[in-house]
Amino acid sequence: MTRIIADISVSLDGFVTGPHPGPDNGLGTGGKALHTWAFSDDPEDHRILREGTARSGAVVLGRRLFDIVDGPNGWDDTIGYGAGEVGKPAFVVVTSSPPQSVRLTDLDWTFVTTGLRDAVTAARERAEAAPSGSGQDLDVILMGGGATVGSAFDAGLVDVLSLHLAPVVLGSGTPLFTGAAPRTLVQRSVTATSTATHLTYDVL
C-alpha cells in the first residue's frame, strides 16, 4: 500500500531551516548543518538515505522550496533529491501560480493549484503507477518545506513521520510544528549515527 511519508531534517529546537532563509540561502543561516547526515560517510546514514529515496514513487513540495531547488543555485547532477541514490520520481508542487518556465527540465514536474490535499492525491496516483524495481509499493514523500509538511500533518494527510534530528540548535528559523493539534504517534525505529538521530513514527 502506498503511504504518505513526511521526511524532513530538523534541529534539536525544532527548526527545519536556520534564520533568514531565502532563494540564495535556502536553508537559512546555519541550516546546512541539518543535512550533514545526507553527505556523511557513516554507513547507517548512507543506508537510510538509500532506502528512503528508493521507496519514493512521487515527491511533494511547496512553491518556496521549488523556487530554491529550481533556482540558479539549486539542484544539479551532484546535489538533488537522493543525490544519485534514486531514479527520477515524479515531483508535485503545491502552488497558487505555476512558474512560466522550469530550469530542471529533465525532471517530471506537476503543478497543482487546488491545494495540498489535491497535490497529495495527484502524487499518490503517480506513485501507484510508477514501476518498482523491488516489486514493492512505492510511497509519496513530503519533502517540504516546513510549512508544507506541517500543514499536511495538521490536515491528517501523513501516515509516517520520518525525522532526521541533527545535533544543532539554530535558535530561530522555520519551525516544523506551529500550534498543531495534539496527535498520537507510535515510535517504530530509532537509529543513532555520528551525524543525526533518525526517528520513524506511525501517525495515528
Q: What confidence tens digit (pLDDT) does each residue in 133-159 have?
A: 666 899 999 998 899 999 999 999 999
Sign of the Cα torsion 154, 97, 124, 89 reads negative
Confidence (pTM): 0.92
Instruction: Please report the pLDDT score of residue 82 as a whole number.
Output: 55
| pLDDT for the residue 124 | 97
Q: What is the dihedral of CA 58, 59, 63, 65, to 10 degrees?
A: -150
For residues 118 and 140, is the Cβ–Cβ distance under 8 A? no
Residue pLDDT, tens place only, 64-114: 999 999 998 888 877 777 555 556 799 999 999 999 999 998 889 999 999
For position 76, what pLDDT does the model report? 82
- Cβ distance 42 to 195 under 8 Å? yes
Residue 12 has pLDDT above 80, yes or no: yes
- Whether 92 and 108 have beta carbons less than 8 Å apart is answered as no
pLDDT of residue 80: 76
Residue 60's DSSP bridge partners are 92, 142
pLDDT of amino acid 135: 67
CATH number for the domain that contains residue 44: 3.40.430.10
Q: Is the pLDDT of residue 184 over 60?
A: yes
Contact, 111 vs 95, CB < 8 A? yes
CA distance 110 to 93: 6
Neighbours of 113 (CB within 10 A): 12
Q: Which domain holds residue 28?
A: 4-203
**pLDDT tens digit string along 18-64?**
999 887 788 999 999 999 999 999 999 999 998 988 889 999 999 99
What is the model's pLDDT at position 106?
A: 87
Per-residue pLDDT, averaged over 6-15, amounts to 97
| Predicted local confidence at residue 198, as pLDDT | 98
Higher-confidence residue of 104 and 4: namely: 4
Taking residues 102-127, report their average pLDDT: 95
Please give the full DSSP string across 77-128, using - where no structure is assigned: SSSSGGGGSS---EEEEE-SS--S--S-TTS-EEEE-S-HHHHHHHHHHHHH
Residue indicated by cell numbers 503511504: 3
Domain count, the chain: 1
By DSSP bridging, strand 139-144 and strand 4-11 are: parallel
pLDDT for 53 equals 86
Measured CA to CA, the distance from residue 159 to residue 83 in angstroms comes to 25
